[in-house]
Structure 1
């Protein structure tokens, strides 16, 4: 967006959201706002319905696990003691505005955010994906269940503490004539790639 569009959008957001707006940043021609989890429904409804904004389309929604952030970086982004977040990318076709919303889940042990499926129906499968991969519960979702992993899958594979090998593995048992689950048989090992350094490699010949 142009500088004028960014300034107009920022002004409209401050006017429409008021004290529901926790933070607003503009980087690389994009606006990102932070909203409290308790205010997400009110904020998103205003973003969709207000005549200054008209954010009628949800483009994308995803979860984030901030557990690997350092203390300094977390504090700088307002993430201190908050591990999980939901990111929304929305579009106003009428105004030609794009916006990113960040909502931090209050409880790290049981992260939950209200579902926005009543506001943007396209959130349905996106929220199921974030639930499946990060374990974020979307309160009020009409059908919150796994969408990418198997129904018998244990854990949430995009969490930073999830083991690369997983917790269980699946195989076909010829005797039982069915698929069975069993503990992972892969032993974790450190793999160091072979690095070859040639003296004067890449130098131009004179």
Structure 2
């Protein structure tokens, strides 16, 4: 597989040149990184050009790199990572694109190239707050309509911002500030002195 990936990597570098910001082969997988401005055109070429023929988008997700490497990450915070499959050439490719603005992360939508990207991009928008320009129906997918924030961001509190409950007096669900007191649970482990000693089975 390594020779196949090496050949694909070479083809990609020849075809896209400076549009590829990095290429890396690790664990029998090829990852390329493209700039946000080159993302859509590169993805279209990967789908349409016969030497690549990535007919299927099999996964797309958002990533928050703010605490990557125990907080040692330097660079843009939010990325979209796409996994492509070429059935014709029996090869996979991972494409990563970073949003230019950490305050309001935006990348192009690829739903016009692969319809399977639709719910993946909605999920990424919902959980990470990454907006996808050109998506025809970008709205929350997993959280409630009144949900505040994006729960997969590394700075999102574990308890959330609000909780909801049914109020029998009002006859409806109501939102209220979180009432869970923060605490740290440390399990208490009790073992005998002879634990693990085969003579004291």
TM-score (norm 2): 0.94
Is the 1:67–1:160 contact (alpha carbons within 8 Å) kept by the matching residues of 2?
Answer: yes
Q: What's the CA shift for 1:91?
A: 0.3
List gaps (5 residues or longer) in structure 2.
Answer: none
Q: What are the within-5 Å matches in structure 2 for residues 174-193 of structure 1? A: 174-193=168-187
- 1:125 is aligned to 2:119: yes
Q: What's the CA shift for 1:164?
A: 0.8
TM-score (norm 1): 0.92
Q: Deviations over 1:75-102 (max 9, x none)?
A: xxxxx23111110001001000101111
Q: Secondary structure at the match of 1:205?
A: helix
- 1:163 is aligned to 2:162: no
Q: Deviations over 1:131-179 (max 9, x none)?
A: 0000001111100000000101011000011111110111111111111
- 1:44 is aligned to 2:38: no
User: What is the match of residue 9 of structure 2?
Assistant: 10
Q: CA–CA distance in 2 between the matches of 1:121 and 1:92?
A: 16
Q: CA–CA distance in 2 between the matches of 1:142 and 1:204?
A: 65
Q: Deviations over 1:37-89 (max 9, x none)?
A: 11110110111111111001000000011111258853xxxxx2311111000
Q: What's the CA shift for 1:6?
A: 1.1
Is the 1:17–1:46 contact (alpha carbons within 8 Å) kept by the matching residues of 2?
Answer: no
- 1:92 is aligned to 2:86: yes
Is the 1:86–1:104 contact (alpha carbons within 8 Å) kept by the matching residues of 2?
Answer: yes
Is the 1:30–1:99 contact (alpha carbons within 8 Å) kept by the matching residues of 2?
Answer: yes
Q: Secondary structure at the match of 1:44?
A: helix
Q: CA–CA distance in 2 between the matches of 1:47 and 1:143?
A: 24
Is the 1:87–1:100 contact (alpha carbons within 8 Å) kept by the matching residues of 2?
Answer: yes
Q: CA–CA distance in 2 between the matches of 1:71 and 1:185?
A: 30
Distance 1:96 1:167, change over 3 A: same
Q: Secondary structure at the match of 2:68?
A: coil
Q: Secondary structure at the match of 2:199?
A: coil
- 1:26 is aligned to 2:25: yes
